[in-house]
Structure 1
Amino acid sequence: MSHTTARAVYQTVHSIARSGIEPCSDVAVFKSHPSRKLVDDALRWLAIHNVEADENAPIETMVFERNGMRNLTGCRTHVSTKRFSSSRFVKLTDDISIVGVELCALQAATYLPFRKLVEYYFELCGAYSLKMGSTTSYSERPALTTTARLKHFFNTLSACDGLIPARKAIKCVRDGCRSPMETAFVMMLTLPKNEGGLGIRALETDYEIKVANVAKGLTRRTKFYMDAYLKRSRIDIEYNGFHHDTEENRAIDEERKNALAAMGYGIITISRHSFMHAEPFARVMEVIQRKEGIRPSRLPKNFKAKQEELRKFVLRRHLEEKKQLEEKIRRDREERNRIDLEKALFDGVLDDPSINTVPEINDMQTFEHQAPHEDNASGRAPDGKVFGVGIELK
C-alpha cells in the first residue's frame, strides 16, 4: 500500500512506525502486484485497524514493473521507475506491505501543494496526529520520524518524482511540535517570505534550556522547554492556549518569564485570541520581525497580504470551526428569543384580567312592550305564559 492509503495508515495506526518492524524481502517488494484477494485482504486490514480512509477512495498500491499493473475495482496502481531499498517498506502481514514513513513523505510531495506538504511534515515530526478531514481534533503520539531522517533520505535520492518540493519543504520543518496550533505559528516564522512567512532559519522548537544559577531562586524548575526559540535574538516565543488561562498556570507562566529574563532571554507570547484575529497577530509578527532584524525592504511588496493569507491557511480548520460555532450560537440565540417571545405573549394573556370575564347584562336594556290581548285582562297568554309588562329596570 502506498500514497494516500499509506498516509491514512500512519495517521491512524501509530505503532507501525515505532514497534519492531519485520523487514521485507526484495522479491516481496519488487515482484509483487495487486490481486482481487490481496485488495480484499487489505480492505479487511484497514477496517480492523480503524484506518480513517475515504470510503469512496480506492486503495493505492505501488508496483515496479508495468506488467504488474492490474485493473481492479477499488484499487489504483502506481508504477515507480525508481527502485528503493527494501528497508523502506514495512511488512504488515505475510502478503501485505506498506511504504515506510520516509517514502510515504516523499510520495506526499507528488500530490500535496507546498503549504500542505510542510504542514504534513510537521505532523510526521511532531507529537500529534491530525484526524482526516477538516476537523481540528487530534491525538497525541510520539513522532513518526525526524527532520534529520527525512533530509538524509531525500539527499540520497536523485531524479525522483516529488524530490524538489520535498527538499524545499523539509527546510521549513522543525521537530517536536506538540499540537497543530504550535505547528501553525511556527510555519508563520519558517516559511519563505514569498509564502507569507518570515523565513527564519535559526529557530528550534521544543528547545530545552537548563535553569542557570542566577535564576534558581526564581523558579522551582530545573529546566524549561521553549515552544519556538529564536537563536539570533535569544527570544522564546510561546503559544498560550486555553490551559494557560487558569490562575495556577498564569502564576507558573509569570515565574517562567522572570527566570528566563534573569538569564537574558526575552519572551514573546502569542495568545489564541491574537492568533485568531488579524490585527493583533500582525502586531505580534511586527515585533518578531524587528527583533530578528528583518528589514521591510527585504520583504515582498505585497507581504502583508501574503502573511494574512498564510495565517488563514494555517488556521483554516480553527477558523471554520469558529465560524460554525458562531453560527450555532446565533441560531440558538434566535431560538431562545423566539421561545421567550412566545412565553411572554402566553403569560401576558394569562395575566389579562378580562380573559375569563363574562359580559354583564346591560342595566339600561328595555324589553319591548306588548299589549295584552283584549280578551285576556289578566295579562296571561293563552298558553299560560306571562307577557312582558314594559317595566324599565333600574
Structure 2
Amino acid sequence: MSALIICNVSALRAIRWARQRYDVVPWEPVGRVEIRHALEDGAPNRDRIDWDVLRRYGFVGDEGADGGEPLHVLVGRDEDRRSREELCCHVQRRDLERGMLLRVEPGIYCASPALAAMQYARGRDLPEVFSLVMELLGSYTLPAEPTFGLARGDVWRARPGFLAPDNARQDGDEPVEQAHYRCAPATTLLELRRVIRLSASSNDRSMRTAVGLAMPGSASPGETIMAAMLGLPMRYGGFGCDQLPRGGMRLNHRIEFSGQAVNMSSGMPWAVCDAYIEAAKTDLEYNGIGHEQVNARIHDGNRNNGLRGMGVRVLVINRQQMQDIVALEAIAQSIYQEAGKRFRYRIENTRPRQLWLLNGLRRAAGLTPV
C-alpha cells in the first residue's frame, strides 16, 4: 500500500485547520522506521488519492485539488516525483528524525508543524517566515481557508474570509485585522532547532534567522507585529528592545500582584502583559478590536491600575500606531530611556529597513501595506 505524505503549504493549511477546531494538532508523531517506510512507499498516485478524505482533515478545501491549488506531497526519491497538475512533489533527501512526520490515518502522513514551516519558508523573506514561526509558537492560529492566498501575497479584505490581490480591490473593501483563533502552541523552539539542522542551504537562511529571533507566547497577529517591530534587532528593521538586559522582551508574561495592587485593580490577583520589558519595567499592550468593547475597557483599566501598583508602566499601542513608524520609534525611545540605555541607530538606511519589516509582517497576515 502506497503512503501519501503531505507537506509544505498543504500541511500548513491542515495544521491551521486542526488548531482552529481541536486546539492542538491531534495526529500522532511517528518514529524513524515508520518515516523511512513512508518515504520509500511515498509515490503519489493521483487516481488513488481520496480527495474527500483530505478535505475532511483540512489538507484541501474548495481552493484545493479541483479548485486550482495543487496538493504538496513529499517523496523520498527523484523517480517517485509525479508531473501532474494536481500534485506538487518535493524530494526529501536527508533522513528525518522522530516526530517530523505525523500519522493522520493509516497511509496518510503530514509534515510536523516545524518541518512544514521550514518547507514553506524556503526562499521567502524574513518577515513572512518570522510571522509563521511566531504563530506556531504562539497561542493563536490563522484560519485554514486563506492559507494558499496568503502564500501568494493576497490581501484579506473587510468581508470575512475574502482574499484578493491588490489589483482586485472593490469599493468598500477596507483592510481589517485578520481573524484568528485561540489554541495551544503547535511546536517548540527545540523542535524548530532540530528541523533547521537538516539544511545548510542559503534558501533556508530566513528560517534559521527567524528561529534564532523568535519569542514564544504571542497571542494574536497584532501582538506578533508589535513584538517584531519593537523587539527585533535594528539591522532587521526593528527597534531592538528584545536585546535590552534582564530578559529582553517576554510575551504574555504573568505578574503576580501584591496586596496593594490587588486592591487597586478591584480584586485582580495577577495580570498578563502582552509584552513585558523587565529592564524598563514596562508593559506593552496591543489594543486590537476586542479591546474597544466597553467591558474590555473596564477590565483593562483595572489591570492597568494593578500594574501601576507593582511599579509597572503600561504603554498601549493601537492599530493606527502600529502603522506609524515614527510613533513606534518614539515608544522605543521611551523604553530605552526607562531602561537607562541610550537609543541610537548604528546602521544606515533605517527607515527603509523598518518599512520593509512592517509591510512584510502585514503581508504575512493578509493586511495591506502602509
Q: What are the superposed Cα offsets for residues 345-380 of structure 1, whole Å, 9 maximum, x if unpaired? A: xxxxxxxxxxxxxxxxxxxxxxxxxxxxxxxxxxxx
Amino acid at match of 1:209: I
Work out which of the two has the higher radius of gyration on C-alpha atoms and give 1 or 2: 1
Q: Which residue of 2 aligns with 1:389?
A: none
Q: How does 1:326-337 map to 2 (within 5 A)?
A: none
- The answer as to whether partners of 1:57 and 1:74 remain within 8 angstroms in 2 is yes
Work out which of the residue numbers 38, 44, 57 in structure 1 matches 2:52.
44
Query: Higher relative contact order by CA 8 Å / sep ≥ 6: 1 or 2?
Result: 2
1:215 partnered with 2:215: no
What is the rounded CA distance, in whole Å, between the counterparts of 1:28 and 1:44 in structure 2? 21
Work out which of the residue numbers 6, 12, 15 in structure 2 matches 1:10.
15
Work out which of the residue numbers 1, 21, 26 in structure 2 matches 1:19.
26
Work out which of the residue numbers 315, 320, 333 in structure 1 matches 2:368.
320
Equivalent pairs, count: 320
CA 1:299/1:3 → structure 2, altered by over 3 Å: closer, same or farther?
A: same
Q: How does 1:1-394 map to 2 (within 5 A)?
A: 1-14=6-19, 15=22, 18-19=25-26, 21=28, 23=30, 25=34, 26-38=36-48, 40-41=49-50, 43-50=51-58, 51-52=60-61, 53=63, 55-131=67-143, 132=146, 133=149, 134-135=155-156, 136-154=177-195, 157=198, 159=200, 163-199=204-240, 200-201=242-243, 202-219=248-265, 220-292=267-339, 295-316=342-363, 320=368
CA 1:169/1:282 → structure 2, altered by over 3 Å: closer, same or farther?
A: same
Q: What are the superposed Cα offsets for residues 304-330 of structure 1, whole Å, 9 maximum, x if unpaired? A: 343244333333567639x9xxxxxxx
CA 1:161/1:44 → structure 2, altered by over 3 Å: closer, same or farther?
A: farther
What is the rounded CA distance, in whole Å, between the counterparts of 1:249 and 1:17 in structure 2? 27
- The answer as to whether partners of 1:89 and 1:98 remain within 8 angstroms in 2 is yes
Shift of 1:210: 0.8
What is the rounded CA distance, in whole Å, between the counterparts of 2:359 and 2:201 in structure 1? 32
Structure 1 unaligned blocks of 5 or more: 324-394
- The answer as to whether partners of 2:30 and 2:99 remain within 8 angstroms in 1 is yes
What is the rounded CA distance, in whole Å, between the counterparts of 1:245 and 1:73 in structure 2? 46
CA 1:185/1:148 → structure 2, altered by over 3 Å: closer, same or farther?
A: same
Q: What are the superposed Cα offsets for residues 69-116 of structure 1, whole Å, 9 maximum, x if unpaired? A: 233331121112211025311122322211111111221231322110
CA 1:139/1:272 → structure 2, altered by over 3 Å: closer, same or farther?
A: closer
SS in 1 for 2:214: coil
Q: Which residue of 1 aligns with 2:170?
A: none
CA 1:291/1:167 → structure 2, altered by over 3 Å: closer, same or farther?
A: farther
SS in 2 for 1:239: strand
CA 1:241/1:77 → structure 2, altered by over 3 Å: closer, same or farther?
A: closer
Amino acid at match of 2:216: D
What is the rounded CA distance, in whole Å, between the counterparts of 1:86 and 1:37 in structure 2? 30
Amino acid at match of 1:142: C
Aligned Cα root-mean-square deviation (Å) = 2.9
CA 1:63/1:246 → structure 2, altered by over 3 Å: closer, same or farther?
A: closer
Q: Which residue of 1 aligns with 2:152?
A: none
Amino acid at match of 1:4: V
Q: What are the superposed Cα offsets for residues 189-226 of structure 1, whole Å, 9 maximum, x if unpaired? A: 23231221023241111111111234232121111100
- The answer as to whether partners of 1:107 and 1:162 remain within 8 angstroms in 2 is no
- The answer as to whether partners of 1:154 and 1:167 remain within 8 angstroms in 2 is no
CA 1:242/1:95 → structure 2, altered by over 3 Å: closer, same or farther?
A: closer
- Deviates most, 139-148 or 292-301: 292-301
CA 1:27/1:247 → structure 2, altered by over 3 Å: closer, same or farther?
A: closer
Q: Percent same amino acid at aligned positions?
A: 22
Structure 2 unaligned blocks of 5 or more: 1-5, 150-154, 157-176
Shift of 1:289: 4.1
Shift of 1:240: 1.6
